[in-house]
Amino acid sequence: MAQPGVIFGGPSPEHDISVLTGLQAAQALDKAGRRPIAIYWAKTGDWFEVDPGLNGQDFQDGVPRKATPVRFVAAPGGGFLGKRDKPLDIDAAVNCCHGGPGEDGSLQGALDLAGIKYTGPSMAGAALGMDKLAFGAVITGAGLPSLPRVALDPDQPPSFDGPYLVKPRFGGSSIGIETVADFETARLRADANVHLRAGGVVEPYRPKSYDLQIAVRSWPELQLSAIERPLRSSTGAEILNYADKYVGGEGMVQAPRELPAQLEPAVEKSLRDMAARVATLAGLRGVARIDFLVDGDQLYVNEINTIPGSLSWYLWVDPSIGFDQLLADMLTEAVQRPASHYTTAGADGTALRAAGSIASKLG
């Protein structure tokens, strides 16, 4: 009998948070009687089936005891193969991988090739959400307000003045983000910061700005959660950092926040209107979190997190949606609205018949 799968971990800086999210989802499904198959993606890239009832501490030294190795084959008839290469009977998988190949489209593409249905963004949606430069271009191209964002180019200073925020172009959760006073310092950080090796982006740093966040889901219809204002607990923190978001015991569930955020009605309406627009532009699928910045009277779209910590279930207080229902709806969408739609329409051999010999084309 097919069961839901839960995929978590992965070779990513956000591996540990993904483990917490995955275990939360697996245990919520188990409590609801869904008997999930928990699939752990180790930091090494290896795959294991694990007990969904484990806790985060069981993974602190790597692969937990009694984990069963599985193979992943990205081909028709493949997927996750257990003992004697028997496929695990998964009807759809909840993707709880944060950052890295689990959230940048790599895993999504592999699951598409294997014919495994999954929750969360499609390959294209994941790639867009993970690329801060591309996402910023889409937002500004649509006429939505966003702070200027340019690629970190050692030979090309930004057109706007410092101080600056320097961010990894590909990544999330404030990992690798730094504030710098001037462009020369930004250039030096490009070589010293391991998270910038794949590229970085530069934005103006607005010290008096603050964050607002909202979750959006796409099934059974487009719906928006309550708005939260995350609070900076770290002493002297210049930005909402990784510790503020996650070092509280259970992913983002215990992070300090104002929920619902106390906002002027006009600000709330503007944010909700923009969030719905961003969801459409980004090809929302599953549950995502959209982050905004407020600087004075101006509201800016910052970024989208297509697989947010704890799947942002804690934001659904108004409307009130339980975690089990959120997961059930995500899995229903995964089955009824698969992420990929491959077709060979048009590949009827006409071009091949007309091409003649390859040797004649080589001269």
CATH of the domain at 305: 3.30.470.20
Domain boundary among 171, 188, 205: 205
Do 238 and 92 reside in the same domain of the chain?
A: no
Number of domains in the chain: 3
Paired tokens of 196? 């910038």
Paired tokens of 110? 């592999």
Q: Could you tell me the pTM of the whole model?
A: 0.92
Q: At 41, which CATH number?
A: 3.40.50.20
Do 216 and 254 reside in the same domain of the chain?
A: yes
Do 42 and 165 reside in the same domain of the chain?
A: no
pLDDT of residue 185: 94
pLDDT of residue 167: 96
Residue 195, in any domain of the structure:
yes
Strands 68-73 and 47-50: antiparallel
Do 198 and 218 reside in the same domain of the chain?
A: no
pLDDT of residue 360: 79
pLDDT of residue 245: 52
Residue segments in the chain with a per-residue pLDDT below the cut of 70? 1, 173, 233-254, 363
Do 162 and 272 reside in the same domain of the chain?
A: no
Please tell me what DSSP assigns to residue 201: E
Do 234 and 96 reside in the same domain of the chain?
A: no
Range of the domain at 103: 3-118
Residue 292, in any domain of the structure:
yes
With both helix axes pointing from N to C terminus, report the angle between 123-130 and 106-114 in degrees, rounded to the nearest 10.
170
Do 86 and 68 reside in the same domain of the chain?
A: yes
Q: By 3-state DSSP, what share of the chain in percent is helix, strand and coil, each rounded to 5?
A: 35, 25, 40
Residue 20, in any domain of the structure:
yes
| Cα–Cα–Cα angle for 343, 346, 349, rounded to 5 degrees | 115
Domain boundary among 168, 186, 205: 205
Do 306 and 175 reside in the same domain of the chain?
A: no
pLDDT of residue 355: 87
Do 177 and 252 reside in the same domain of the chain?
A: no
For residues 329 and 217, the answer to whether their CB atoms sit within 8 Å is yes
The H or E element containing residue 101 is: helix 100-103
For residues 120 and 285, the answer to whether their CB atoms sit within 8 Å is yes
